[in-house]
């Protein structure tokens, strides 16, 4: 299975707003399989098409302990939100960096599945955090955008330092 290249911050392509998928066809299903392979290989729990430079409204997730509960959301929309919670987030496009972000605690999402059928799903805990993070990617938004200028600057410096020491190895 072909692995896709994950764009890394501050690549401007991560700021693209994705467009709706008009037809859930074999090409979309093949992309879903490549995105799962890429996400599992990178040890992520989610991946938005934006992160692999495909600007369509598609994301995949698997927040299960054993990595055996794949979820696909095409043209996702949040139709209900409840409560607020602060959680630590990571991002495969901002490798090795983590920060606390406030999100809705519970969300109801409406989307299409791989067969192009509409469904709704209630998500809480890590799944709720992950889908809000992935849906932000589809809007060209990153978790670092929620940080204060000072926290964001610190995180960017740590990222640059980590990259320099990785390059030296």
Contacting positions for ligand K1U (CB under 6 A) = 44-48, 89-93, 129-130, 133-134, 137
Could you give phi then psi for residue 64, rounded to 5 degrees?
-75, 155
Query: Residue 103's binding partner, choosing from ligand K1U, Zn ion, none, with beta-carbon cut-off 5 to 8 A by kind?
Result: none
The length of the chain is 169
By C-beta, is 50 or 75 nearer to Zn ion?
50
Residue 93 vs 104, nearer CB to ligand K1U? 93
For the CB of residue 166, give the shortest distance to ligand K1U in the complex, in Å. 17
Q: CA separation (Å) from 54 to 14, 31, 136, 160?
A: 10, 9, 15, 26
Q: Which residues are catalytic?
A: 134
Query: In angstroms, what is the minimal distance from the CB of 133 to ligand K1U?
Result: 4
Choose the one of Zn ion, ligand K1U, none that binds residue 45, judging by a C-beta under 5 to 8 angstroms depending on kind: ligand K1U
* Residue 129 binds which entry of Zn ion, ligand K1U, none, CB below 5-8 Å type-dependent: ligand K1U
What is d(CA 81, CA 103) in angstroms, rounded to the nearest whole number? 10
Residue number with CB closer to ligand K1U (25 or 64) = 64
- Min dist CB 46 to ligand K1U, Å, is 4
């Amino acid at each position: 299975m072909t692995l896709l290249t994950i764009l890394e911050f501050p690549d401007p392509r991560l700021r693209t707003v994705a467009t709706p998928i008009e037809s859930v066809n074999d090409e979309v299903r093949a992309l879903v399989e490549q995105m799962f392979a890429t996400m599992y290989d990178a040890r992520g729990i989610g991946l938005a098409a934006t992160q692999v430079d495909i600007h369509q409204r598609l994301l995949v997730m698997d927040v299960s302990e054993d990595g055996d509960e794949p979820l696909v959301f095409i043209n996702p929309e949040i139709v209900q939100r409840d409560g607020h919670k602060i959680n630590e987030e990571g991002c495969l496009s901002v490798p090795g960096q983590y920060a606390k972000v406030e999100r809705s605690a519970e969300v109801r999402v409406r989307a299409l599945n791989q067969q192009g059928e509409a469904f709704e799903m209630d998500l809480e805990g890590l799944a709720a955090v992950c889908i809000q993070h992935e849906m932000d990617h589809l809007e060209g938004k990153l978790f670092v955008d929620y940080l204060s200028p000072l926290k964001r600057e610190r995180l960017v410096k740590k990222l640059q330092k980590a990259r320099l020491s990785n390059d030296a190895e």
